[in-house]
């Protein structure tokens, strides 16, 4: 299926909202989407950084708000 979006006429905010809707939809079908083989390694490395204190979690709602503020 080919989908034509009016990307040239969409604002950055419109594009981010469209992406958010797509990701939300994919989240509900996550069992149907196989994880790539390298994914476990990346998750393990991130978990190690959290445990060592060199990284921390951010609230997703707050992170999205910061991104939206930066890109307008």
Provide the residue ranges of all domains of the chain, joining segments of one domain with +.
Answer: 37-72
- The Cα 6–Cα 16 span in angstroms is 14
Mean pLDDT of the chain: 92
Alpha helical stretches, state H, the chain: 12-28, 39-52, 60-71
Does 27 have pLDDT greater than 90? Answer: no
Mean pLDDT of 7-18: 95
Residues 63, 56 contacting (CB under 8 angstroms)? no
pLDDT at 15: 95
pLDDT digits (tens, 9 = 90+) for 33-66: 888 989 999 999 999 999 999 998 889 999 999 9
**Percent of the residues in the chain that have a pLDDT greater than 70, as a whole number:** 100
Angle made by CA atoms 7, 60, 26, in degrees to the nearest 5: 55
């Amino acid at each position: 299926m080919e989908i034509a979006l009016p990307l040239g006429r969409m604002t950055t905010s419109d594009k981010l909202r469209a992406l958010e809707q797509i990701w939300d939809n994919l989240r509900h079908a996550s069992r149907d989407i196989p994880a790539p083989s390298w994914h476990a390694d990346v998750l393990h490395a991130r978990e190690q950084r959290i445990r060592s204190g060199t990284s921390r979690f951010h609230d997703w709602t707050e992170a999205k708000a910061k991104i939206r503020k930066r890109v307008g």
